Amino acid sequence: MTERLGSVFIENVQPELDAGRYAIKRVAGESLTVRADIFKEGHDVLVAVARWRQVTPAAQKTDWAEVPLTFKNNDAWEGSIPLANNGRYEFTIEAWPDLFRTWAHELKRKVDAGRDVKSELLEGAALLEGAAARAKGKAAEDHRVLAEAGARLRTPPTPDHLLVALSPDLADAASRHPDRSLARKYDKVLEVFADREKARNAAWYEFFPRSAKRDGKTHGTFKDAQGWLPYVQKLGFDTVYLPPIHPIGRTARKGRNNSLRAEPGDVGSPWAIGAAEGGHKAVHPELGTLADFRAFVDAAKAHGIEVALDLAFQCSPDHPYVKEHPEWFQHRPDGTIKTAENPPKRYEDIVNFDWMGPARDALWKELKSVVLHWVDNGVRTFRVDNPHTKPMQFWHWLIREVQDLHPDVLFLSEAFTRPKVMKALGKVGFTQSYTYFTWRLFKDELRSYLEEITSPPVSDYFRGNLWPNTPDILPENLQNAGPGAFRLRVALAATLSSVWGMYSGYELCEGRPVPGKEEYLDSEKYQLVAWDWDRPGNISEWIGKLNAVRKAHPALQQYQGLRFFESDNDRVIFYGKRSPDGLSTVLVAVSLDPYAHQEALLHVPMQWLGVNAEETYQVHELMADQRSLWQGPDVQVRLTPEQPAAIWAVYRYRRTEHAFDYFE
């Protein structure tokens, strides 16, 4: 017997990433809005559902469930899948004709046209009897109602037959027990990964624990680094990112300022991982022990801070892997091991794995065990060094393997590379990514770039973590610049995206470059640094205020939904965000001029705010803690290098039972 196939078409399913090869990203507690074009020949009434289930972690795996899709217009349907828990979900679309409603709709048209409908009533009876049979044993009341109505339609017709046949309640009962042998399923099962909240909302602070003594001479320890935590907490950061904490190789160790020759006492680059003391699962002895690291993680947690660890899959020539597993590395024709290169740069202190070589299965398994080792020691966030220089297949495999076991693990991609490569890393699973924000300075380029990465389809898989600086990058706009430059760039980073970070020294306006390069002079990558938290000209208080504002206003904790608005000055950028429930709305204006004051006429988006042109509404400028009443669409603002950003929480008045109140 030939299988019956429904003739329903299901197409243009959204969101769908690269024909379903990769998972869409969301956050636990959100819902996934699913859209599709669904239609069929003729005039049948259709029913459509989104089918979904959670598949990882295994302990939270669920059976398939369904949510209805609603017809919108022009054959477009839409519905929402709840993503209550952190983990991986599957979803697809299924649709079928509602036979009884279609019959009832046609019956009424025939009756209105004066047609004899005796035969049609018998057809309806058969449909009801089929629905009753499907309801039997599942819904007793529906079974009774459907069976009785079917029997009624088989008796000699009376005017009451039409009342029975066209009863909305009867149609509802029949629809609850459809003939789904005529259903058509979408030909793909798609995936969505629901991250935990920190994937979308976090503020990162990077520092080197070996400089924790802050004298530039004495190697710090994890115990010393614990002394930084109250300071980081005061600045308002909730994630501390540590560069590699492993033993550092001695062969070809780099000296100060990336010198090819290390002097006695030079500490080397922590990215040259591995020595006689151990490799990627070991701790640099001068930092302390593994127990000391776990104590640091616990201390950070007590301060409301999560520890992110650098994941740099590369080795010093002294790494134990080099002797134990030479087959894991690339070799030259003369048999010598290949050091890492990015011409004209050469990294003499680093050797790379042979990622796709004959020993790849064992290599990949070992590197997965490295990640799980640090997960077992309290790490749930990894900043991944140069992932664009490793195969995409590896990351797709590794991230999935780790998150299937530990869905709360997050991965930040450090890939300042070609746009499509950066996006591909997001697609294969990276939770967040560094961005080109570091080099976007002007109004139009900031707007176009941020609109691109915070809106679908890019935002379905790519979350931009905005950093104004890193240990590797001192951008030209911050070189030998005054505090105004540092204030405005951090204001943009902290408000344009819901995830942002900075490398220590930024709050001190550290901007001394290697001449002609985007690199720090006396870089901490190669030496200990003396940090004076109270250095004159620091902007620590400004940064602390920014992070406090972010924490207090849910609108700034949203990644999607960034909207840009008009200002009449090209050196003032104006934008806003709103929380999904509409209870938090924030407007932001930032001067892009670090040296002089700028004035602008802002065109307030009245319709977006839901405010009438004649309505008075209250705004609270959060950085200066000043309240004002606004009316109408035009507002004048003056920004200075000392106060380059204004952030307004918007409040509308509403009438209550006895008086007026306002809500954000």
Residues designated as active site: 385, 414
Q: Please tell me whether 254 is known to bind a ligand.
A: yes
Q: What phi and psi values does residue 210 have, to the nearest 5 degrees?
A: -70, -15
Between CA 212 and CA 207 the distance in angstroms is 8
551 annotated among ligand-binding-site residues: no
- Round to whole Å and give the CA distance between 28 and 517: 42
CB 165 within 8 A of CB 153: yes
- CA 583/CA 610 separation, integer angstroms: 12
352: number of Cβ within 10 Å: 20
For residue 501, the cross-strand partners are 204
Structure-token pair, residue 643: 């106060």
Q: Please give the Cα distance from 46 to 648 (Å, whole number).
A: 47
Query: Token digits for 257?
Result: 């300022």
Q: How far apart are CA 131 and CA 123, in angstroms?
A: 13
Report the Cα–Cα distance between both ends of the chain, in Å, rounded: 63
**What one-character-per-residue DSSP string does 506-520 give?**
GGGT--PBPTTSSSB
CA 590 from centre of chain = 24
What is the enclosing helix (H) or strand (E) of 240?
strand 239-242
Name the residue with tokens 């007590």: 302
Give the whole-angstrom CA distance, residue 113 versus residue 108: 9
Instruction: Give residue for tokens 């450090």.
Output: 414
3-state helix, strand, coil in the chain (%, to 5): 30, 30, 40
**What's the longest Cα–Cα distance across the chain?**
107
Could you give the CA distance from residue 55 to residue 86 in angstroms, rounded to a whole number? 11
Q: Is 386 annotated as a binding residue?
A: yes
SS3 category, 121 = helix
Binding-site residue ranges: 254, 314, 349, 386, 525-526
Binding-site residue ranges for alpha-maltose 1-phosphate: 254, 314, 349, 386, 525-526
